[in-house]
Structure 1
Amino acid sequence: MTAPTPEQLRAVPKVLLHDHLDGGLRPATVLELARETGYEGLPESEVGALAAWFERASTSGSLERYLETFVHTVGVMQTVPAIRRVARECAEDLADDGVVYAEVRFAPELHVERGLALPAVVEAVLEGFAEGSAAAAARGREIRMAALLTAMRHAARSSEIAELAVRYRDAGVVGFDIAGAEAGFPPTRHLDAFEYLRRENAHFTIHAGEAFGLPSIWEALQWCGADRLGHGVRIVDDITVAADGTPRLGRLAAYVRDMRVPLEMCPSSNLQTGAVTSIEEHPLGLLRELGFRVTVNTDNRLMSRTSLSREMGLLVDAFGYGWADLRWLTVNAMKSAFIPFDERLAVIEQRIKPAYAALGA
């Protein structure tokens, strides 16, 4: 079997469910926006050096240290033009990488330091996504962009952000999320927001099982009712493999697999934050073998200097994946998207399956 090439991986249709808007800026854009907005805190003043700094600072083995890098990206995203530009470039960059459907998340509460109202932040992102999608389509790169509104788990605005997600759900916001440091900030602190979303028939995912273990996953699912798990790598702690290679699933792992809970896995990011020690040892390989609803994602393209095609390439190298494996991951992601069933099915049948069939999958 001939391994997929980087060019083929960029060209094939891909689906992205876990990508942070403030973690995907172009380094040149960070510098330009800093000059335009008067932000003076950047650690480097040249594009290559800044890109290298973000990757180096994010590769500490600590989620908390990793999150500190966002001070600079959020710092230059405090005006409507800046936010709209970042969103527009995000759509264009993902489309150029072959992504046909993307759910990109951002925390409106992080972009109000200069007086913007929360709705203005949301509208700026949605406008940018529309502009970027149109520009990509003009180049023959069709992409559908959707937004997830994130609340910070260490703050107290989750109910407000959840209401905002419902308010804009017919305008391009398809769901809700909580993010930030897991340790000490369990998802149940935001139970009111999740109960409101369930009453409103709204979708949500929760960052869980990244830096913290099984209790975080259990709370996200059984107390909060999450539709998907952001990362979820620590579910592997509930799986034991006998000396003869026979796997045994604990109660929580069995529930996650049986209920087809989607896992939004981000290999490079997990390596940087210390959630895994190598791509070859990433739980994604075992979970795929066991039939979990695994998806592959970028998390933060700037911090990891990555793209979805690169993440797929890492799996090809680590696990020997071919087109059938990559199609499986892509269909998993599209099945798990927060748009209506008929729209998900149309992308799978009209875009994903024909393209992979042409490659022998």
Structure 2
Amino acid sequence: MSAASEPTVPTPAQVRRAPKVVLHDHLDGGLRPATVLELAAECGHELPPGSTERGAESLADWFATAADSGSLERYLETFAHTVAVMQTAPALRRVAREFVEDLLDDGVVYAEVRYAPELFVEQGLSLDDVVAAVQEGFDEAVAAAERGIVVRQLLTAMRHQARSREIAELAVAWRDRGVAGFDIAGAEAGNPPTRHLDAFDYLRRENAHFTIHAGEAFGLPSIWEALQWCGADRLGHGVRIIDDITVAEDGSVTLGRLAAYVRDKRIPLELCPASNVQTGAVASIAEHPIGLLNDLRFRVTVNTDNRLMSRTSMTAEMCSLVEAFGWTLADLRRVTVNAMKSAFLPFDERLALIDEVVKPGYAALDPTLDDAVR
């Protein structure tokens, strides 16, 4: 921001209008509650007792309450109900289509949507069938949209299972047909990313992109392994990098070796504030390290993680940061550009979205914003 201009603290309406980029958003964590109800009825899946007394409204309450446990493991249990209703190609297509429709409604212009194909084969679909159905849903939504959005898949392997090499090969097979990269997810404790070195070595040989869930519920060792052993391009969450940063009483800040490496190498942090509070990674939004990490110019990005479980959206996440840290439109634009720079998309396409969509979108909200984005 130029020295002559005053910071613009955005209103909620301005935040909703702002172009957004999301890199960490789970397909099976972003269903509409009404869709869960309808799909559960179609496939005969039994939802939790008392969760449907008031229809979709009470089901939404159940998901948010069950996920708001302070435990990543308990948080992950809620996915049993979304995964159960996504076992057919029509269900996957519907969920994928509605997912993109909801992103469009929230002002998202670029999204990488992740999910684990291995979780959706219980009724006979092949891994290839799963990816194809999701892509069809995305394509339907994009084709019907009144404004532009670019959506890509990230294929996730579950870190407590042994199919990571197979999923990595699937990601490479589909990388010119809608898949942008690879991920591993699941409970970190006891499931280090180094268990999947074969998959990561394969991806590097194939010049493929991958991110790793690390530094969410587990600390610095998980981040270190993801980067220095596995070679991750981005950190899924990475919030525990704060454990390697010391703030003295006088306000001076000292970065440990790992934190300094992450900042120096501009390694993107896929931070998910609302989710981090729910899983106990941080105590509150006001205490979330994202404020300090942004001030220290780490490559911070803002994400939703699971919109159903956290009852959130990109607009809600950004508004919470405006309220907690006084973020301005310049701050929101910075993290949006950060995310677009960090996307698993070819450079020329990233640059086009930054110059032709993101920057003009923020300039329409505040013409005084200069072009310098650090």
Specify if TM > 0.5. Answer: yes
1:279 aligns with 2:285: yes
User: What are the superposed Cα offsets for residues 213-267 of structure 1, whole Å, 9 maximum, x if unpaired?
Assistant: 0000000000000000000000000000111100000000000000000000000
> How large is the RMSD of aligned CA atoms in angstroms?
0.8
Q: What is the CA deviation profile of residues 166-196 of structure 1, one whole-angstrom value per residue up to 9, with x for unaligned ones?
A: 0000000000000000000000000000000
In 1: Cα distance, 2:196 partner to 2:325 partner: 38
TM-score normalised by structure 1 residue count: 0.98
Query: Do the aligned partners of 1:229 and 1:263 also contact (CA within 8 Å) in 2?
Result: yes
Question: What is the number of equivalent residue pairs in this alignment?
Answer: 358
| 1:115 matches 2:107 | no
Partner of 1:343: 349
> Structure 2: how far apart are the matches of 1:133 and 1:358?
24
Shift of 1:12: 1.2
> C-alpha distance in 2, partners of 1:73/1:10?
27
Q: Is the 8 A contact 2:14 2:365 kept in 1?
A: no
Among 150, 155, 162, the residue aligned to 1:149: 155
SS in 2 for 1:301: coil
**Structure-1 residue corresponding to 2:269:** 263
Q: Is the 8 A contact 1:96 1:141 kept in 2?
A: no
The 5 Å alignment of 1:175-186 reads 175-186=181-192
Unaligned runs of 5+ in 2: 1-6, 370-374
Q: Alpha carbons of 1:204 and 1:267: their partners in 2 closer, same or farther (altered >3 Å)?
A: same
SS at match of 1:302: coil
In structure 1, distance between residues paired with 2:176 and 2:194:
27
Asked if 2 retains the 8 angstrom alpha-carbon contact of 1:107 and 1:150, the reply is yes
Tell me the secondary structure at the aligned position of residue 212 of structure 1. coil
- Of residues 282, 287, 294 in structure 2, which corresponds to 1:288? 294
* Alignment match of 1:312 (pick from 292, 313, 318): 318
The corresponding residue for 2:216 is: 210
| Identity score, percent | 75
Structure 1 unaligned blocks of 5 or more: none
2:168 is matched with: 162
For 2:40, which of 34, 39, 43 is the aligned residue? 34
Cα offset for 1:134? 1.6
Q: Secondary structure at the match of 1:125?
A: helix
> What is the CA–CA distance in structure 2 between the aligned matches of 1:167 and 1:2, rounded to whole Å?
45
Match of 2:204 among 198, 202, 226: 198
**1:52-71 counterparts in 2 under 5 A?**
52-71=61-80
Give the CA deviation at 1:135. Answer: 2.0
Moved more, 34-43 or 288-297: 34-43
Does residue 303 of structure 1 match 2:309?
yes
Aligned to 2:31: 25
Output one character per residue of 1:132-167: Cα deviation in whole Å (capped at 9) or x when no partner.
11222xxx2321110000000000000000000000
Residue type of the alignment partner of 1:112: V
* 1:75 matched to 2:92: no
Conservation of the 8 A alpha-carbon contact between 1:22 and 1:70: yes
Whole-angstrom CA distance in 1 between matches of 2:107 and 2:351:
18
1:90 aligns with 2:108: no
Which whole-Å CA distance do the structure 2 matches of 1:243 and 1:90 have between them? 45
Any idea what SS the aligned residue of 1:309 has? helix
Contact 2:8–2:329, Cα closer than 8 Å, also in 1: no
| Over 6 Å off, 4+ runs | none
- Name the structure 2 match of 1:219: 225
Offset of residue 37 of structure 1: 1.6
The code of the aligned residue for 1:133 comes to: V
Q: CA deviation at 1:2?
A: 5.3
Aligned partners of 1:146 and 1:172 also within 8 Å: yes
- Tell me, yes or no, if the aligned pair for 1:25 and 1:73 is still in contact at 8 Å: yes
Structure 1 position 9, deviation (Å) = 1.3
- More displaced 10-residue stretch of structure 1: 45-54 or 5-14: 5-14
Residues of 2 paired with 1:11 and 1:312: CA distance?
A: 12
Whole-Å Cα distance in 2 between the matches of residues 72 and 358 of structure 1?
41
